[in-house]
Amino acid sequence: MITSADILNAKILIVDDKEANVALVEGVLRVAGYSDVHSTTDSSEVCLLHSKNHFSLILLDLHMPGLNGFEVMDGLRAMEADGYLPVLVITAQPDHKLRALAAGAKDFISKPFDIAELRVRVHNILEVRLLHLAAKHHGRMLEATVRQLEESREELRLKAIEERRQTEREMALALQTQQSLLPRTVPLIENFHVHAFNQPTRNLGGDFYDFLELSSREWLGVLADVSGKGLPAALFSSMVLGALNMELRLGTEPHEVLNRANKLFCERSLPAQFVTLFLFVLSPEGVGRFISAGHTPVYLFRAATGRLESLVSDAYMLGMFEFATYRPRRFRMERGDIMVIYSDGLTKAENPQRELFGDDQLIEIIRRDAPAGSQAVKKSLTRAIDEFTQGSPQADDVTFVIVEKYR
């Protein structure tokens, strides 16, 4: 906003070859309250003075020796980048008025001039000039702000790209670390064939399996599915695997390991984090026991009858209830029997139409191919998953373990 003080403090230059005219105009302006009034009788000095002082208004006589008023305006126009000439022409020749306006002057006043008219015209031109300068300044500030915003946006974009790349590198490393927790090979176990499969999602998941030979000549297997996705699930699954592995290697009974682990997870895990788990122990003769902590049913194919049995859960998920306890249940595998343990990512696998693979298709594959052995079941199952999903991104890991007693 332009104030009266801004107008009265504006820089003014009076240009006339007659000192009497200069004194008259300067006197009128000073009486009106203008405080920064300059003057010259040498028209050749105007451009130099304007370049130093940047006058808001130049009162210019047209008829002068040396450079006349039109020539002075030509010089000023070359100096003003936007072509705006803050010139009020004072002339005694009426035919010069239109020419002066065409040359860029903003207004004119005739000699001899009326003092009141001079004051009004000076005030009006100064107000317009100062508004013009303020608009230019605001425009420059706005352009600078826009440039800063563009630069900031570009910096943020580049930063976001780098952060995304860093996150992708970290996630890739975390995925490699998680995959390294899985056994590189399945164990060679007396009288048994063992097959394992894990197909992780694009995100970090929480499925894992492991095997351990016990001092009793028995061997132990476990398949677990940690709730959630991403880094929290991966970290939690690492904690679960570490806790189970440490206790089992110390020779603690499996059911007691789960009892202790459940209390630990209840204390240390995040809210809504839990683990479903199927743990089994088998001797070379096929005598076994299992604990299913909230896990999906495990299917046991009986070679002698061709029937399919289900080993279902009768215990709470780990990490949900501190009062939960875990007890083993007995089972036995005979020659040709095949046990299929899987995470729910298998039956919940989706095709492009968002349909689920489902339990029925899994059961059909087991019943059809189990008589041909565990290798046939694995091949059929992996092929069926690939054909069904058709490369569609999955929301969960697909993990299964197949155990066959071959003698």
Q: What is the token pair recorded at 342? A: 């899987």
The whole-number pLDDT of residue 170 equals 66
Could you tell me how many residues make up the chain? 407
With a cut of 70, say whether residue 180 has pLDDT above it.
Answer: no
Angle at CA of residue 358, ends 354 and 362, nearest 5°: 135
Supply φ then ψ for residue 403, to 5 degrees: -120, 130
Q: To which H or E segment does residue 197 belong?
A: strand 192-199
Residue 253 backbone class (left: φ over 0; alpha: ψ -120 to 50; beta: rest): beta
Q: 352 preceded by cis ω (within 30°)? A: no
Beta bridge partners of 292: 278
The whole-number pLDDT of residue 242 equals 83
Look at residue 139 and give its three-state secondary structure.
helix
The whole-number pLDDT of residue 236 equals 78
**Residue range 247-259: average pLDDT?**
90
> Do the Cβ atoms of 394 and 350 come closer than 8 Å?
yes
With a cut of 70, say whether residue 193 has pLDDT above it.
Answer: yes
What span, in angstroms and rounded, lies between the C-alpha atoms of 105 and 87? Answer: 5
> Do the Cβ atoms of 29 and 122 come closer than 8 Å?
yes
pLDDT band at 114 (very low <50, low <70, confident <90, very high): confident
> Do the Cβ atoms of 270 and 321 come closer than 8 Å?
no
With a cut of 70, say whether residue 240 has pLDDT above it.
Answer: yes
Percent of the chain residues past pLDDT 90, beyond the cut: 49
Look at residue 185 and give its three-state secondary structure.
coil
Q: Among 16-25, 138-147, 207-216, 325-334, whose mean pLDDT is lowest?
A: 138-147
Q: What is the token pair recorded at 378? A: 């694995």
| Greater model confidence, 271 or 190 | 190
What span, in angstroms and rounded, lies between the C-alpha atoms of 235 and 294? Answer: 21
The whole-number pLDDT of residue 109 equals 84
With a cut of 90, say whether residue 383 has pLDDT above it.
Answer: yes
The whole-number pLDDT of residue 291 equals 96
What's the topology of domain 181-405?
Answer: Phosphatase 2c; domain 1 (3.60.40)
Q: Which CATH class is domain 4-139?
A: alpha beta
> Do the Cβ atoms of 307 and 367 come closer than 8 Å?
no
Please indicate whether the domains covering 4-139 and 181-405 agree at the CATH topology level: no
pLDDT in tens, 325-351: 999 999 999 999 999 999 999 999 999
Q: List the chain domain ranges.
A: 4-139, 181-405
Q: To which H or E segment does residue 325 belong?
A: none
What span, in angstroms and rounded, lies between the C-alpha atoms of 396 and 230? Answer: 10
